[in-house]
Amino acid sequence: DQQVKQNSPSLSVQEGRISILNCDYTNSMFDYFLWYKKYPAEGPTFLISISSIKDKNEDGRFTVFLNKSAKHLSLHIVPSQPGDSAVYFCAASVTNTGNQFYFGTGTSLTVIP
């Protein structure tokens, strides 16, 4: 059973606009969440994280929002740039379980110049 879900396989956004990538999870024990970005022919790279004690974490153009009651998190990129075009993976973990993460299937973002 898939514990982390990214229901949108792809998203296209105009340059300069906001990109919103969504992630849902089913395990209420998850308390730490990450977003990874992956370019073709490269491994995923860490982008931003959030702990369940927060509902928002911001790093430059990237903001992650966490809604624990809805078991939902989202990644906002504003303004979007063509270099942001990549596949974005959401990942979740339960503290005290050995640093193991569960990943979603990814959302492919295309930012149109």
Partner 1 sequence: ETGVTQTPRHLVMGMTNKKSLKCEQHLGHNAMYWYKQSAKKPLELMFVYSLEERVENNSVPSRFSPECPNSSHLFLHLHTLQPEDSALYLCASSQVEGPETVYGYTFGSGTRLTVV
Which spans of this chain sit near partner 1 (rule: CB under 8 A)? 2, 4, 9, 32, 34, 36, 41-46, 49, 89, 91, 93, 95-96, 98-106
Q: 28 vs 45, which CB is nearer to partner 1? A: 45
CB of 113 to partner 1, least distance (A): 27
- Burial bucket for residue 69 (CB in 10 Å: 0-12, 13-18, 19+): exposed
Q: Which residue has the tokens 């973002």?
A: 109
Least separation in angstroms between residue 73's CB and partner 1 is: 15
Contacts for 66-71: CB closer than 8 Å, 24+ residues apart: 66/33, 70/24, 71/24, 71/25, 71/26, 71/28
From CA 12, how far away is CA 15, in angstroms rounded?
Answer: 10
Shortest distance in whole angstroms from residue 32 CB to partner 1: 5
Comparison of 11 and 15: residue with beta carbon closer to partner 1: 11
Minimum Å gap between C-beta 79 and partner 1 is: 25
How many Å apart are CA 40 and CA 42, to the nearest integer? 5
9 vs 16 by CB, closer to partner 1 = 9
Nearer to partner 1, 65 or 101 (CB): 101
| CB 113 within 8 Å of CB 13 | no
